[in-house]
Structure 1
Amino acid sequence: MSDIFHTVYQHLLFSEEDFHAISAAHEKTEIAKGNFLLKSGEISNEYYLLEKGIVRSFVHDYNNNEITTEFFAENDIVIVPSSLFQRIPSQETLQTVTDCVLWKIDFDKFQHLFHSVPGFSEWGRSWFTTQVFSLKQKSLDIVTETATNRYLKLLKEKPQIIQNAPLKQIASFLGITDTSLSRIRKDILKI
């Protein structure tokens, strides 16, 4: 069993038997750079544990520009919750930024775990709570932090994004232009 299951599904109520049931519900998959896990307009039927690589989610704005809404790195859950759990078409597209190793679990297997593994529903509530707080903090950072500070925070929390994702994707994620990001990076190197 991969260590990713113990890392992602951390909860006091899980026994070793539970981890075996959880890992058995997942399927290992390797996806090359640039491929899509989910396209806008499709209904998500699975989510992924990202063991290796980087995935991004993006939307198109009113001018049809790609705007990166999230980066997923190692040990993250790659998911569009609204599409998966509400069974509605996704507004976001999920695309691999690098070659990736992922563990996929489909909706029906997730539902089975949710109802059969003690603690899985509690883990899910805890995970969702963390995601809500993270999303709220990101929206606050956009209006309260400078672009430089947002870049430095991303560099500290997920350096692999800075090392591997294209500048344009990072800039759109931070809510700035490519030119501004280039200037920020040059200024940081001077320090």
Structure 2
Amino acid sequence: MTQMDKEKTLREVYRHPLLTEEDLTVIRDVHTEVMFNKGDFFLKRGERSDSYLILENGLMRSFVYDYDGNEITTDFFSNHEVVIEVLSLFQQTLSDEYIQALTDCICWKIDLDRFEMLYHSIQGLNEWGRAWMSEQLFQSKQRSVEMITQTATERYLKLIKEKPQVIRQAPLKQIATYLGITDTSLSRIRKELTIG
């Protein structure tokens, strides 16, 4: 990836009116390029997270195993999104989740100690962090309510609209567990939508 790609991606992610050009340069310089091959793990259950990623290109997912040992996808991360296990990173607890590359991925990594240093010294980053965290909290709450109030078809259509990259690149089984349904149900929904 070129410096221009890095610049563009990080600018898109760290968008905040209080961040100056100078701030963005400092933030950009502490991110290092990391690549993951399809199937590689960024984080495994039982590990303590010490960094987060900005995904330049590719698709990743977080997942857990339920009480029966089935894989359940908890989130997908697509281009220009923050790949993070918030609890493990900021509480410094052992992760309950796995984060894995579903495709080859190009990412920009920032270590927790560097982030904290900048967070306390750049006011705009501090405000960006609060806004980002609020948005994540909002999305998490909305998703938990929608799992109860929306039909599986509605949830699938919302995923198509909001994360088309997931529909194109993630295996059906993983999409189904994310939507809280079986892959048979998902196949039926897809068929009905094609016919309809």
TM-score (normalizing by structure 1): 0.98
Query: What does residue 47 of structure 1 align with?
Result: 52
Residues of 1 paired with 2:46 and 2:128: CA distance? 29
Q: 1:86-165 to 2 correspondence within 5 Å?
A: 86-165=91-170
Residues of 1 paired with 2:151 and 2:32: CA distance? 41
Structure 2: stretches of 5+ with no match in the other structure: none
Q: Does residue 12 in structure 1 map to residue 17 in structure 2? A: yes
Query: What does residue 73 of structure 2 align with?
Result: 68
SS in 1 for 2:93: coil
Which amino acid letter does the alignment assign opposite residue 54 of structure 1? Answer: L
Provide Cα deviations, 1:38-95, integer angstroms capped at 9, x if missing partner.
Answer: 0001000000001111100000000010000000101110000100000000000000
More deviation, 113-122/8-17: 113-122
Query: What does residue 191 of structure 2 align with?
Result: 186
Which amino acid letter does the alignment assign opposite residue 70 of structure 2? Answer: N
Residues of 1 paired with 2:127 and 2:147: CA distance? 31
CA RMSD of aligned residues (A): 0.7
CA deviation after TM superposition for structure 1 residue 23, in Å = 0.5
CA deviation after TM superposition for structure 1 residue 31, in Å = 0.8
Residues of 1 paired with 2:136 and 2:45: CA distance? 21
Residues of 2 paired with 1:190 and 1:163: CA distance? 19
Structure 1: stretches of 5+ with no match in the other structure: none
Percentage of identical aligned residues: 53
Moved over 4 A (4+): none
Which amino acid letter does the alignment assign opposite residue 28 of structure 2? Answer: S
CA deviation after TM superposition for structure 1 residue 30, in Å = 1.4
CA deviation after TM superposition for structure 1 residue 6, in Å = 1.0
Query: What does residue 167 of structure 1 align with?
Result: 172
Which amino acid letter does the alignment assign opposite residue 127 of structure 1? Answer: W
Aligned residues: 191
